[in-house]
Structure 1
Amino acid sequence: MSDIVTYIILGIIEGLTEFLPVSSTGHLILAGELLGFTGESSVAFKVAIQLGAILAVLVAYWWRFWGVGMGVLRGEREAIWFTRNILIGFLPAMLIGAVAYEGIRQLIQSPMTVAVALIVGGIAILLIERMVKTVKVERIETMPLPTAVAIGLVQCIAMIPGVSRSGATIMGALLMGVERKTAAEFSFFLAVPTMAGATVYSLYKDRDLLSFDDLSGIAIGLAVSFVVALLVVKAFVKVVGRFGFAPFAWYRIIVGVAALAWLMGR
């Protein structure tokens, strides 16, 4: 299989899974194993192409970001609180990610960790779906500061590949009484500074490992993930509103069990 086809396949997988609670990084790691796309430079690729999905959020919700930006300039309280909650939620991941980067990098090369995390995470989603009943927060603008901080801390669990950043933040938000759609959108918006920061930091740390071909591959994967994620991000909110998160939980468990069986038997 040619490198370009591999980049396109991984870009599609990233775009499909970044905003679903199924772990995009986990899927990229398992797909990389299947396609033989492993090694030091592949780690930077798997992190960097997530920027394409983040750009899709900016495009899909451009009106929301524009309105918040204009509101902040005008000193509107709700726009300022929205911005505060996103930045505060991002802070734990920024600090812990910088300190634990090398450990995270090693985990990104561990498909067995992904398989186990997919199964455990699927079971956790099923349990949380049954537990959550009371809604206390219906808008990001009215989310209390402690809730934003707590969700930001929960997001850090997703540094273990296979956990899912969106899954951790959405489930954490639900446990804290955030309404389903609001929880999903907060996860989308929180991804913007989180994944942008992770991409820039990863490319900087791995700059000596990357060749021109590596950067060209990242550009291809990033472009493909952008297009696919743009189609997925709004559809996900509709699916969640109708079916909840249980379908994604069962999907995680099935993929995790299959991956575990494959890894142990090869």
Structure 2
Amino acid sequence: MWEYFVAIVLGIVEGLTEFAPVSSTGHMILVDDMLLHSKELFPASVANSFKVVIQLGSILAVVVVFKDRILDLLGLRRMRKPGAAPARKGEPRLKLAQVFVGLIPAGVAGVLFEGYIDKYLFSLHTVLIGLVLGGILMIVADKLGPRVLKVDTVDKITYKQAFGIGLFQCLGMWPGFSRSGSTISGGVLLGMSHRAAADFTFIMAVPIMAGATLLSLVKHWDSFTPEALPFFIAGFISAFVFALISIRFFLKLIQRIKLTPFAIYRFVLAAIIALFLYL
């Protein structure tokens, strides 16, 4: 039963933190490596596959929340809900090409530096640095973001802004920095509202995270044994449910409180991890 408890708790942590600008990596280190020690319960290959599976649960939650927007981008359904993308001809609306433009920088950086990042940057010390620097970037974005918004909805984003956000997304490759924290901060600094930047961040997350996760699934396919499957399912369901809750709550909250409270939370998390690490 303890194994199921660990699987569910890790799924909850993944779901709550993957898309909030608080660093899911930092939370997984604190909860898993320092408290639950799942690596002592499962073989390394199973533990790695489990993290891929719960990430899939989080991605599915994004697809559910943004299903109408995604169908619209794919040309399968035109959005007509109040407050959503304009339906009238000639008005701006988010294009699939803009999403791909936003993915280019991180895609290129991933191909060039993924091996280096996996080998040298996944440590407690680098995560602590990422938590602090990412928090500072979020405070800077709140302080220096344009007073007069150029883009108050994701439908008005330009190709230049999409590419700029993609450049900021590269910062999220540093463990602990937070992909959502870096991209939302970048969007705000480039003239977008916090909600518009968050919407674009979540939409961009679907193809880039789904692609990386599916590649990892293929790589670790041998770990999907009948014995491990129940734990994978428990983690997947808990990650999906709590990611769904977290995303909906965050999108309602971000425009009201902005990024600074999340930055302060990151500093507190970094201090807690440092206490575990150095005491």
TM over 0.5: yes
Q: Given the superposition, is the C-alpha separation of residues 49 and 103 from structure 1 closer, same or farther in structure 2, using an over 3 Å criterion?
A: farther
Q: CA deviation at 1:87?
A: 1.8
2:83 is aligned to none
Following the alignment from structure 1 to structure 2, what is the Cα–Cα distance between the partners of residues 96 and 48?
24
Structure-1-length-normalised TM-score: 0.88
Following the alignment from structure 1 to structure 2, what is the Cα–Cα distance between the partners of residues 239 and 72?
28
**1:138 partner letter:** D
SS in 2 for 1:195: helix
The alignment status of 1:200 with 2:214, answered yes or no, reads yes
Following the alignment from structure 2 to structure 1, what is the Cα–Cα distance between the partners of residues 157 and 211?
23
Q: CA deviation at 1:198?
A: 1.4
Matches within 5 A, 1:99-114: 99-106=112-119, 109-114=122-127
Tell me if structure 2 keeps the 8 A contact 1:82–1:140. no
SS in 2 for 1:49: helix
Counting aligned pairs with the same residue, the percent is 38
Q: CA deviation at 1:50?
A: 1.6
Q: CA deviation at 1:36?
A: 1.1
Following the alignment from structure 1 to structure 2, what is the Cα–Cα distance between the partners of residues 98 and 132?
31
**1:261 partner letter:** L
Tell me if structure 1 keeps the 8 A contact 2:7–2:232. yes
Tell me if structure 1 keeps the 8 A contact 2:68–2:77. no
1:86 is aligned to 99
2:81 is aligned to none
1:46 is aligned to 51
The alignment status of 1:18 with 2:18, answered yes or no, reads yes
Which stretch of the first structure deviates more once superposed, 193-202 or 39-48?
Answer: 39-48
Following the alignment from structure 1 to structure 2, what is the Cα–Cα distance between the partners of residues 71 and 141?
17
1:245 to 246, 249, 259: 259
Structure 1 runs of 4+ aligned residues shifted over 4 Å read 76-81, 208-216
Tell me if structure 2 keeps the 8 A contact 1:107–1:160. no
1:190 to 182, 185, 204: 204
Query: Which segments of 5 or more consecutive residues in structure 2 lack a partner in the other structure?
Result: 79-88
Structure-2-length-normalised TM-score: 0.84
Tell me if structure 2 keeps the 8 A contact 1:138–1:182. yes
2:68 is aligned to 63
Write 1 or 2 for the structure with the bigger share of helix.
Answer: 1
**1:10 partner letter:** L
Question: 1:201-232 deviations in whole A, cap 9, x for unaligned?
Answer: 22233345665544543332222111111112
Following the alignment from structure 1 to structure 2, what is the Cα–Cα distance between the partners of residues 45 and 79?
41
2:133 is aligned to 120
Which stretch of the first structure deviates more once superposed, 135-144 or 20-29?
Answer: 135-144
Q: Given the superposition, is the C-alpha separation of residues 205 and 213 from structure 1 closer, same or farther in structure 2, using an over 3 Å criterion?
A: same
Matches within 5 A, 1:133-144: 133-134=146-147, 135-144=149-158
Following the alignment from structure 1 to structure 2, what is the Cα–Cα distance between the partners of residues 215 and 174?
41
| Number of corresponding residues | 264
